[in-house]
Structure 1
Amino acid sequence: MRTPRDKTKICRAGRRDRHRERCIGHVLARPAVLFACLVLHILSAACAGAFNVPETLRYDLVWTGVKAGEATLEVRSDGTGLRITSIANSARWVSFFFKVNDKIESVLRSNPEQLPGRPVAYRVNLSEGRYRRHKEVVFDHETLRAVYIDHIRNERAETDVPSRFFDPLSSFYHLRYMDLKAGRSVHVPVFDNKKVSEVEVLVLRNERVTVPAGSFDTILVKPLMKSEGIFASRGEIYIWLTDDERRIPVRLKIKVRIGSVIANLAGGTY
């Protein structure tokens, strides 16, 4: 027969287990948005190079030294421009109590004055535990208007946009065209949360890093979060890009409440 003290110990243990599950869920809640939001912050300047099209980048998502999921970044030509897709899925052991299946897409139209193109549509479809998000934004560069649609809440809103801006995902690919030099601070207009904000990115230093895909000479950049977003309240974010004309993102790191989430390049076609 259990004593009151035994029951107290069981309750405390149960609370600890539930707290751990919530922490893991919080860390992995939006791994695809990790790639979208961490690129919330990129910039414009002279063209330095270009990535290959098509291109597929596969990542291992690691938390406290354990693989917790996988993510993919893919860019392909659709005839009139580019289609960029970010997909993230939780590992089987995480899916047991908090399944993640996220997809984010950016559709661009070719424009030589704005590489890699002008965004015409931005779509977000998130499934994270019980959380769901299904929204899209359609951009009209003739009228300089954006139409925001929330398919779950059945909401629709319109807003003005400037002649030059990026959505969160395409801003990352724009960065890869840049002539990045350590010590610089750059800004880029990014449409997020129904508005366009100037976001600053610091170019910190050169580093050599080793990931499952190999060892690379990289340049480290740090987006400064000033707008609202998933990472605005979670901590600092860092991106390691190869120090060559391709600017391949080989590692991404975000500090969270407990440790950090690290995305390491594991393979792909690039």
Structure 2
Amino acid sequence: MKKIILSAILLLLFAIPGYAVSLPERLVYDVSWTGISAGRTVQEAKVVGDEIRIVSTTKSLPWLKVFFPVDDRIESYVMRSGAGGKMGLPRIYRERMNEGRTHTDKQVFFDHRKQTALTKDYRGKSEKEDPIGNNTYDTLSAIYFMRGIEMIPGKSVFIEIFDCKRLWRTEVQVLRREEITTPLGTFKTVVVKPLLKSPGIFARTGDIHIWVTDDVLRLPVKMTSKVKIGSITATLIGGTYWQNEQSALKQ
């Protein structure tokens, strides 16, 4: 189950765009394994000065801690661009992950002028520099970038993602529209299928499907993925976000 809970949440938050994300935003997810609640993920994004700061934390529930404790924190510092302060390119990415006996602490410094990414591994006491493209994102900033691009069912969108190891060109297929029911209610959604290649970040073992609301908010409400034993489901259960200066969802 290495990195499965984190992977589920990161994948779930790929949204079908066409609309700007309303900040600040806080989304809370229940992550279950074969129908049993196993963890919670909270993802928050807010504007701080001339940056957008995104923080994602994942923790296992008490029953799972006995067998497989998870305590992850991922951060992305993204530059704002244009008069409207929209999402720009990432400046710094940091991941501190504690999953069972696996522990990582890495930080990436992006230099978009030189098109390089400097990765520092604090536990391994090493660093390396890799080439990146004109529009390269980390795994967190990619989430919000995707939420700002128009997608059409039957077509694919591609995005460059640097995962602390190498640059990946990731295809996201937009499959269909579908109505689903969750603990928060019934939603008209669009179903997305990312074709992931990076085993280090996403622990890909089976097809992943994501449901996002087919409305102005484009909220990712559900994700399912098969794993070696059973399946993982991540479901939006609460949080707060703002649309037209009003709180729309609370927990």
TM-score range, shorter chain: 0.7 to 0.9
The within-5 A match list for 1:37-52 is 38=11, 48-52=18-22
Rate the CA distance shift 1:231–1:141 in 2: closer, same or farther, 3 A.
closer
2:34 alignment counterpart? 64
The within-5 A match list for 1:1-270 is 26=1, 29-36=3-10, 38=11, 48-112=18-82, 116-231=87-202, 233-270=204-241
TM-score by length of 1: 0.82
Q: Kindly provide the CA deviation profile for residues 158-191 of structure 1, in whole angstroms up to 9, marking residues without a partner as x.
A: 1222221111111111111122221011111111
Structure 1 residue 115 displacement after superposition: 5.3
Higher strand share: 2
Rate the CA distance shift 1:110–1:269 in 2: closer, same or farther, 3 A.
same
Structure 1 residue 82 displacement after superposition: 0.6
Contact 2:163/2:201, CA 8 A, preserved across alignment: no
Structure 1 residue 195 displacement after superposition: 2.4
1:7 alignment counterpart? none
Q: What are the ranges of 5 or more consecutive residues in structure 1 without an aligned counterpart?
A: 1-25
Aligned sequence identity (%): 40
Structure 1 residue 220 displacement after superposition: 0.7
Structure 1 residue 108 displacement after superposition: 0.1
Structure 1 residue 112 displacement after superposition: 3.8
Contact 2:45/2:54, CA 8 A, preserved across alignment: yes
Report the Cα distance in structure 2 between the residues aligned to 1:67 and 1:228, rounded to whole angstroms: 24
Structure 1 residue 35 displacement after superposition: 2.8
Q: Kindly provide the CA deviation profile for residues 2-28 of structure 1, in whole angstroms up to 9, marking residues without a partner as x.
A: xxxxxxxxxxxxxxxxxxxxxxxx2x7
Contact 1:41/1:199, CA 8 A, preserved across alignment: no
Report the Cα distance in structure 1 between the residues aligned to 2:144 and 2:183, rounded to whole angstroms: 22
Report the Cα distance in structure 1 between the residues aligned to 2:54 and 2:86, rounded to whole angstroms: 13
Partner AA of 2:7 in structure 1: V
Query: Of the two, which has the highest radius of gyration?
Result: 1
TM-score by length of 2: 0.88
- The residue matched to 1:116 in structure 2 has which SS? strand
Contact 1:62/1:69, CA 8 A, preserved across alignment: yes
Q: CA RMSD in A?
A: 2.3
Partner AA of 2:149 in structure 1: M
Higher helix share: 1
Q: Kindly provide the CA deviation profile for residues 211-241 of structure 1, in whole angstroms up to 9, marking residues without a partner as x.
A: 2222211111000123443435411112111
Rate the CA distance shift 1:42–1:149 in 2: closer, same or farther, 3 A.
farther
